[in-house]
Amino acid sequence: MGRFTMARRIIAMLFALSILPATVVALPSEPTLIPVVLADFKFVPSTVRLQPHTTYVLRLTNSGASEHDLAAPKFFMAATVSADSIKKVRDGRVVLHAGETVDIELTTGDVGSFSMRCTFFGHALMGMTGHLEVAGPSRTNSHTAANQGAWVGRSSQHRGCFCCNTDTLCHTVRKPDIGRTKAPITMFGRPRRG
């Protein structure tokens, strides 16, 4: 009789569990961290690609010797900036002192391309401009596995291309003295040495 009693209890528990409503609790996912360096007269990367309606943390770091800012008023108007981060965005720009790092948490809006620039005198003229692109995933990948590598100064977790924010290097250069070879290039278009 002991085995039948135990079997009845198990069947009763399974039946009770099957009629209870299933409750699913969705845990909030962590926003994706996007590092953007404001160096002397350039943004690294100069083009930041984001997915629409996705939450990100833009980690802005001023590695330059003077003040810089990231001004992208149309981008910040299209995005939903978190309550903590909205205090750091004034008139569509974030000002950073030399050596300062600021995190801006936001949820992107609809698809669009937004320009960003440093508004301090002469900085944009010297090349401190870029783009924030909100677009869906591309269907084709023009990057080749042969071009994979790391840029000088980037940690191993941030491998890839500065200009297009992907996991592979996307640029090739033709060296006339050697023939057609693929080599990573710097931000200024010259082959990397070393």
129 belongs to a structural domain? yes
Do 118 and 162 fall into the same domain?
Answer: no
Do 105 and 191 fall into the same domain?
Answer: no
Do 48 and 86 fall into the same domain?
Answer: yes
Domain final position from 134, 151, 183:
134
pTM: 0.58
Q: Residue 59 phi/psi, 5° resolution?
A: -95, 100
Do 166 and 75 fall into the same domain?
Answer: no
Do 157 and 108 fall into the same domain?
Answer: no
Do 101 and 186 fall into the same domain?
Answer: no
Do 65 and 129 fall into the same domain?
Answer: yes
Do 43 and 66 fall into the same domain?
Answer: yes
How many Cβ atoms sit within 10 Å of the Cβ of residue 86? 14
Do 87 and 120 fall into the same domain?
Answer: yes
Q: In what order do the strands lie in the sheet with 55-62?
A: 42-44, 32-39, 55-62, 101-107, 80-81
Q: How many CA atoms lie within 13 A of 27 on its CB side?
A: 2
Do 170 and 91 fall into the same domain?
Answer: no
Do 74 and 127 fall into the same domain?
Answer: yes
147 belongs to a structural domain? yes
Is residue 61 within 8 Å of 69, Cβ to Cβ? no
Q: Where are the alpha helices (H) located in 20-158, listed in sequence order? A: 73-78, 83-86
Distance of CA 129 to the CA centre of its chain: 17
Dump pLDDT digits (tens) for 146-175: 333 333 333 333 334 444 444 443 433 333
User: Cis peptide leading into 45, omega within 30 of 0?
Assistant: yes
Structural tokens at position 188: 């200024």
Dump pLDDT digits (tens) for 128-153: 999 999 997 644 333 333 333 333 33
Residue 48 maps to which CATH number?
2.60.40.420
Do 80 and 115 fall into the same domain?
Answer: yes
Q: Where are the alpha helices (H) located in 44-193, listed in sequence order? A: 73-78, 83-86
Q: Is the pLDDT of residue 26 over 70?
A: no
18 belongs to a structural domain? no
CA dist 79 and 107 (Å) reads 6
15 belongs to a structural domain? no
Q: Is the pLDDT of residue 181 over 90?
A: no
Buried b (16+ CB within 10 A) or exposed e, 150-171: ebeeeeeeeebbbbbbbebbbb
| pLDDT band (50, 70, 90) for residue 20 | low
Dump pLDDT digits (tens) for 80-99: 999 999 999 999 999 999 99
CA dist 67 and 62 (Å) reads 8
The residue segments making up the domain with residue 61 are: 32-134
3-class secondary-structure state, position 50: strand
